[in-house]
Each structure stands twice: as C-alpha cells, then as structure tokens.
C-alpha cells in the first residue's frame, strides 16, 4: 500500500482538503495521473487495483536481469509528448530506436535489398494516404486494400508491412475500419524505448497515493447520494468514482453498473475494437545476429515472429531479442506452450541464420488476450467505430461515475500518453464540480 506522507515536501504547496472523496478503479497510468491531480486539489483519493502492483499495462519484468516491458515499451514521438517530461521526472532511462537501422530477410535467408524494402515501404505510406477515400463504413481495411491491390495478396513482403506497420499499431485487418484506420493525432520527434522499465513512471505517480492492491472491483452502484463500490466482497463509498479499467474489461462486463450504463456508452464499448499484441523476450549465451536495431523476416505466417528488436542496442551484452505476435495470431499463441513458441521462433531465425542457431537460454512472454485485467492490449477503430464513440466512452454519468483510459481519448487512443491525458482530463472535470 502506498500512503501519503505525514509531512509535506518542501516543493509541494499546502493541500487543503475540499471535503469530497474519490475512488479510482485501476492503478494504471490514467488512474494514477488522475489520483495525483485530485489529491493535489484536496480530494480524499483511494485507488483500488486488482493486481499485486501498480502500473496496469505499464508492467516491467526484471526476472532475467533486464527490464522486459510486458505492455508499453516506447514513447511514441517525444516532442511535446507529456510522457517525455514524466519519464524524466520518474528517472526512466530511454534509448532512441532508429527505424533506418534495419535488416530484412525473405524465406531461405535471402536478404531484401534496401531499394526493394524501402520502395515497398514508401508505396505503403502512399497507399495509406489515399485508401480511406475508397473505404466504406461497413468494409474492413483488409477488404478494401485487397480489392484495390489484389496483386499484393500473395506478396510476403507486403504481408510483412501490413502486419508490422498496421496490425501492430491498430488491430485485426479484417476488423479494422477502412475509413478510420489512420484516425488520431501523433507527436513528432524521435521514438524512444524504455531501458530501465516503463513502470518507473507508475511508481513515480503512485508514491503519494493511498493505493489498495489486490482489490478487484465487481460492482458500482450510483443511484444513491454516494457511489458504492464493491471490491473483494466489501463495499466502499465515495462522492465520485473514476473507472480506468481497460476497454477489454468493460467489453467482458467484468464490472456490473447499477443502474446500467447509458445506451450510447454501452454501444461505444461494443463498437470500439480491442487489439491483442503479445511480446516475447528471448536470451542466448551469445549473439548471432547483426548489430542493427531491427531484424525483419517475411514468413508465410501472417502476424507472428516476423519482427525482432535487437535488445543489445539498449542493453549491451544481453544477447537478447524481442519479438511479437498480433491480433488473432497473438491470441493463438496463448494456447501454445513455451516449447511450441520457441520452436516457431527458432524456425524463423534458423531460416535466416542457419541451423546452428541454438535454443535460447530463457524466454519471457505475455498473454494479454486472456489477461483478466486487460483482455487485450489497446483500443483501435474497428468497422462500425465512429469517432464520437471515444467521446461517449469518456462521458461522465450523473456527474458521479467518470471514465478514463486510452480508449477514452479520441486524439491519442491506444497510447500511454493518451491514457495519461485522459486521467488529467477527468481530474479537471471533477475539480470543476467543486
């Protein structure tokens, strides 16, 4: 449990209690950002977290000697991004990953020339600039793309780009909106990956908050003057509740709302998509790959083990690679044993580097699709999604039940900074009611 210190720090102004109480459901970055902002405005804040530690999808595993971020890894665009400053305050070390430091291979370990790889990448970006003009509300990205470019369907290189550049960042291509696949805003500047763990930000935001761990909220009743929150069989009351659980948790009806949520919010929960991305960290006794940031491979398989991050770049001497699976392939990996996963990853690496590539010494993996605290990785614009649905997800109910999380931020959904901004937004809403 994190408890507010009895003495104010020298740099913190005196906080005057305002007589109002808030229970925050979820200690991810949205809940922590909101909780800290509300605490400074004099609210009595309690955070209920279902997991054994804070962070939500900012979750770092250090069991193999380096920080493996199971959820978020990158600051996407450091220029003007609020997470850039937050990371600095939290002591999160970062490393700039360069997209041009890359080596790509086809079947049999045949290297793609820089020209072929680069020209295909350029063609993809050009396609993305125009494809939405041919889209339709009831058609997926995949359907429209291959209607327009049928010759690309059998290209392993095109499948790679669609997988790692689109599915990774959005969601299942057969469910991704052909109109809104590029919705949202982006920050400029470099992409930087966390080195010592993204959870340093969560720990930083949590240090002055009253956080109750291992508390799973199952019911929120808001018909009386006070909101009643049921967690682990107990009931707590507050003037306000802020719900920051991931969209996947809402989709799975893991929390009962009494009365039921408004119809437009229920519709938004159904219509906005939830992607699944799983990550795999593998460590060897020695490095057998090139000194580049990214190693790409174009297998027949669509959405798994085709993109490798060279962890040596930011953890020198770690002899580690990180790879991914997306969408249905990611969900399918959750049914596989560690041995089966390693076998498939090794098949790809041995096709590139030869049969002498040894089995890794260790592997860490995620299973976000079945994780009851997330049921997926992040939201995306599915067929049937309208941008107003993100605003519906963000709307307060009766000025008592408030909502935050990356899925509630129309401009920056699916990102850490979107989640952070949503928490600040909701804190401002509650403060305005004083």
pLDDT tens-place string over residues 94-146: 999 999 999 999 999 999 999 999 999 999 999 999 999 999 999 999 999 99
CA distance 422 to 409: 6
Count how many domains the chain has. Answer: 2
Mean pLDDT of 396-421: 98
The predicted structure's pLDDT at residue 13: 73
Cα separation, 149 vs 142, in Å, equals 10
Assess if residue 78 is contained within a domain: no
Rounded average pLDDT over 69-76: 98
Q: Are 186 and 77 in contact (CB under 8 A)?
A: yes
pLDDT of 3 above 50: no
In a shared domain, residues 206 and 267: yes
Question: Does residue 64 fall inside a structural domain?
Answer: no
pLDDT (tens digit, 9 = 90+) per residue, 339-373? 999 999 999 999 999 999 999 999 999 999 999 99
What pLDDT score does 11 carry?
A: 53
Considering the domain boundaries, does residue 7 fall inside one?
Answer: no
**Domain ends where: 318, 333, 365?**
365
Cα gap 313→205, rounded to integer Å:
28
Q: Cα–Cα distance between 87 and 202 in angstroms, integer?
A: 10
What CA–CA distance (Å, rounded) separates 311 from 195? 9
Q: Report d(CA 297, CA 107) in Å as an integer.
A: 8
Does pLDDT of 185 surpass 90?
A: yes
In a domain, 370, yes or no: no
Same domain membership, residue 396 and residue 313: no
The confidence score (pLDDT) of residue 1 equals 44
Q: Domain for residue 377, yes or no?
A: no
Are 283 and 355 found together in one domain?
yes
SS3 assignment for 70-130: CCCCEEECCECCHHHHHHHHHCCCEEECCCCCEEEECHHHCECCHHHHHHHHHHHHHHHHH
Q: Is pLDDT at 283 greater than 90 in this prediction? A: yes
146 and 152 Cβ atoms separated by less than 8 Å? yes
110 shares its domain with 161:
yes
Percent of the chain beyond pLDDT 70? 97
User: Within this chain, do residues 281 and 425 fall inside the same structural domain, yes or no?
Assistant: no
Identify which of 165, 145, 120, 58 has the alpha carbon closest to the alpha carbon of residue 420.
58
Residues 6 or more apart whose CB falls under 8 angstroms from that of 320 comprise: 66, 281, 282, 283, 284, 311, 312
pLDDT of residue 4: 42
Q: Does residue 5 have a pLDDT over 80?
A: no
Please indicate, yes or no, whether residues 108 and 166 belong to a single structural domain of this protein.
yes
Phi, psi of 205 (to 5 degrees): -70, -25
β-pairing verdict for 44-48 and 21-25: parallel
pLDDT band at 25 (very low <50, low <70, confident <90, very high): very high
* Cα distance between residue 4 and residue 9, in whole Å: 11
Same domain as 290, residue 244: no
Nearest to 342 by CA among 304, 381, 383, 287: 304
Classify residue 418 by burial, with Cβ atoms within 10 Å: 0-12, 13-18, 19+.
Answer: buried
Question: Average pLDDT, stretch 185-206?
Answer: 98
- pLDDT tens-digit series, residues 219-269: 999 999 999 999 999 999 999 999 999 999 999 999 999 999 999 999 999
334: in domain: yes
Are 180 and 327 in a shared domain?
A: yes
Whether the pLDDT of residue 10 is over 80: the answer is no
301 shares its domain with 359: yes
Residue 65 located in a structural domain: no
pTM for the model: 0.96
- pLDDT for 2: 44
DSSP H or E segment with residue 3: none
Which domain covers residue 203, as residue numbers?
Answer: 21-57+197-273+385-432
CATH number assigned to the domain comprising residue 425: 3.50.50.60
Do 110 and 259 sit in the same domain of this protein? no
- Looking at the fold, whether 281 and 423 belong to one and the same domain comes out as no
Look at residue 12 in the predicted model and tell me its pLDDT: 59
DSSP state, 313? G
**CB under 8 Å to 211, separation ≥6 — which residues?**
1, 2, 27, 46, 47, 49, 54
- pLDDT band for position 6 (50/70/90)? very low
- For the chain, what is the mean pLDDT? 96
Q: Looking at the domain assignment, is residue 142 inside a domain?
A: yes
CATH number, domain of 104, equals 3.90.660.10
178 and 204 both lie in a single domain = no
């Amino acid at each position: 449990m994190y408890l507010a210190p009895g003495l104010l720090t020298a740099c913190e102004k005196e906080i005057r209690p305002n007589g109002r109480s808030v229970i925050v459901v979820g200690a991810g970055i949205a809940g922590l950002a909101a909780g800290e902002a509300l605490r400074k405005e004099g609210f009595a804040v309690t955070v209920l977290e279902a997991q054994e530690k804070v962070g939500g999808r900012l979750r770092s595993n250090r069991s193999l000697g380096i920080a493996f971020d199971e959820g978020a890894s990158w600051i996407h665009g450091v220029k003007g991004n609020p997470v850039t400053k937050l990371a600095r305050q939290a002591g999160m070390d970062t490393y700039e990953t360069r997209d041009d430091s890359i080596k790509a291979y086809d079947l049999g370990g045949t290297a793609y020339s820089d020209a072929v790889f680069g020209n295909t990448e350029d063609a993809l970006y050009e396609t993305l600039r125009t494809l939405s003009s041919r889209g339709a509300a009831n058609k997926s990205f995949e359907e429209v793309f291959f209607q327009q470019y049928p010759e690309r369907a059998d290209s392993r290189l095109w499948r790679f780009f669609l997988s790692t550049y689109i599915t990774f960042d959005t969601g299942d291509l057969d469910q991704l909106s052909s109109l809104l696949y590029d919705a949202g805003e982006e920050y400029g500047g470099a992409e930087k990956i966390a080195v010592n763990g993204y959870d340093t930000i969560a720990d930083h935001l949590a240090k002055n908050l009253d956080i109750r761990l291992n508390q799973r909220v199952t019911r929120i009743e808001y018909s009386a003057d006070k909101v009643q929150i049921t967690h682990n069989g107990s009931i707590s009351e507050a003037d306000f509740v802020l719900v920051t659980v991931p969209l996947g948790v809402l989709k799975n009806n893991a929390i009962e709302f009494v009365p039921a949520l408004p119809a437009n919010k229920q519709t938004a929960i159904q219509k906005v998509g939830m992607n699944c991305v799983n990550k795999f960290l593998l460590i060897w006794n020695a490095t057998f790959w090139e000194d580049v940031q990214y190693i790409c491979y174009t297998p027949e398989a669509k959405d798994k083990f085709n993109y490798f991050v060279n962890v040596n770049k930011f953890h020198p001497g770690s002899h580690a690679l990180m790879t991914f699976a997306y969408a249905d392939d990611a969900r399918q990996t959750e049914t596989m044993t560690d041995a089966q996963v390693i076998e498939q990853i090794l098949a790809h690496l041995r096709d590139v580097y030869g049969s002498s590539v040894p089995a890794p010494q260790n592997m860490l993996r995620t299973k976000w699709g079945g994780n009851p605290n997330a049921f997926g990785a992040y939201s995306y614009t599915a067929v049937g999604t309208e941008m107003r649905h993100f605003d519906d997800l963000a709307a307060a109910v009766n000025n008592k039940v408030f909502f935050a999380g990356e899925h509630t931020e129309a401009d920056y959904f699916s990102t850490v900074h979107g989640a952070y901004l949503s928490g600040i937004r909701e804190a401002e809403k509650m403060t305005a009611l004083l």
